[in-house]
Amino acid sequence: MSSSTSSAPTRALKIGIIGFGPFAQFLVQTMSKQGHSIRATSRSDCSEQCAHLGVTFIRDMDEFLQSDNEVILLCTSIVSLSEVIKSMPLHYLKHPTLFAEVLSVKEYPRHVLLKALPPEIDLLCTHPMFGPESGKDGWKGLTFMYEKVRIRNEDICSRFLHIFASEGCKMLEMTCEEHDKLAARSQFLTHTIGRVLAEMQIEPTPIDTKGFQQLVHVKETTAKHSFDLFSGLFVHNRFARQQLKNLEIAFANIKQKLLLQERMNDKMDLSLSKY
């Protein structure tokens, strides 16, 4: 694992985005502010959102891939990845093109894209560890993870990374495997706890402690993400299943400790009542 800040040149990039959902719309605001030229395609008609953000919307995938993109940035849901890739006529990609993606799991897109992309296309796997909520006041100090999976054109790659480095992101280079191990223990756990709290319908009370306010915050922020995103964190991260088991075991252990304590207290009460 290594961290770095890029001092790459700032010439604007031509970036084509696939999947214009909440996260792409969030990223585009900063990319546009930096002067990059952006076009997008998506399953749904996103022409209105695109017009609002100064992005050219190209409905037709063939036309989109044939347009002049230096970077293709994949921002679709994790669970739709293989369907999206299958539907793309990848032979239209022009060389040099950097293919980058921001999926919240990393080994899975790395594997699928290495198999699907023509060998002359560069591949950068990334995960910005923030989103519309945590990054709403800027990206300074927020972590940006990446693995340069297959990079020959260092110039385009470093200009792309510079988008995040120049906003003050903490740039962390690590393998996709390392990412998935850590993310299962951190991000997946957070989303799971948040979903459990939502199932319990926890709500603020007039006597909230700071700790409870934080729990409500976790519930509310995880609920803003789609179920597709949450299920993708589980289905396509091979380390997540173990974390779910650990959570179940930990819950059972805590419950057992409490019930044991309750039994001991009952016994004590019983023996005291004899006097």
Ligand X SMILES: NC(=O)c1ccc[n+]([C@@H]2O[C@H](COP(=O)([O-])OP(=O)(O)OC[C@H]3O[C@@H](n4cnc5c(N)ncnc54)[C@H](OP(=O)(O)O)[C@@H]3O)[C@@H](O)[C@H]2O)c1
Task: Give Cα separations from 66 to 20, 51, 58 (angstroms).
Answer: 18, 21, 11
How far apart are the C-alpha atoms of 123 and 61, rounded to whole Å?
20
- From candidates 107, 225, 236, 237, binder to ligand X by CB under 6 A: 225
Give the footprint of ligand X on residues 131-190 (CB under 6 A).
131
Q: What is the DSSP string of 173-218?
A: E--HHHHHHHHIIIIIHHHHHHHHHHHTT----TT--HHHHHHHHH
DSSP letter for 122, please. Answer: E
Cβ-based burial of 56 (10 A; exposed 0-12, middle 13-18, buried ≥19): middle
> Should residue 194 be labelled a site residue for ligand X when binding is judged by CB under 6 A?
no
Closer to ligand X by Cβ: residue 77 or 97: 77
**Nearer of residues 140 and 255 to ligand X, judged by Cβ:** 140
49 binds ligand X (CB under 6 A): no
d(CA 274, CA 268): 10
What would the x/- binding string for ligand X be over residues 5 to 24, using CB under 6 A? --------------xxxxxx
For tokens 């023996």, what's the residue? 271
| Residue 248 interacting with ligand X (CB under 6 A) | no
Per DSSP bridges, beta strands 14-18 and 71-74 are parallel
Q: Which of 38, 100, 103, 172 binds ligand X (CB under 6 A)?
A: 103
> Does an H or E element contain 3, and which?
strand 2-4
The footprint of ligand X on this chain (CB under 6 A) covers a number of residues equal to 27
Site membership for ligand X, residue 100 (CB under 6 A): no
Task: Decide whether 153 or 221 has the Cβ nearer to ligand X.
Answer: 221
Per rule CB under 6 A, is residue 38 in the interface with ligand X? no
Query: Does residue 73 touch ligand X according to CB under 6 A?
Result: no
Nearer to ligand X, 59 or 95 (CB): 59
Binding site for ligand X (CB under 6 A): 19-24, 42-44, 46, 75-78, 80, 83-84, 102-104, 128, 131, 225-226, 228-229, 232
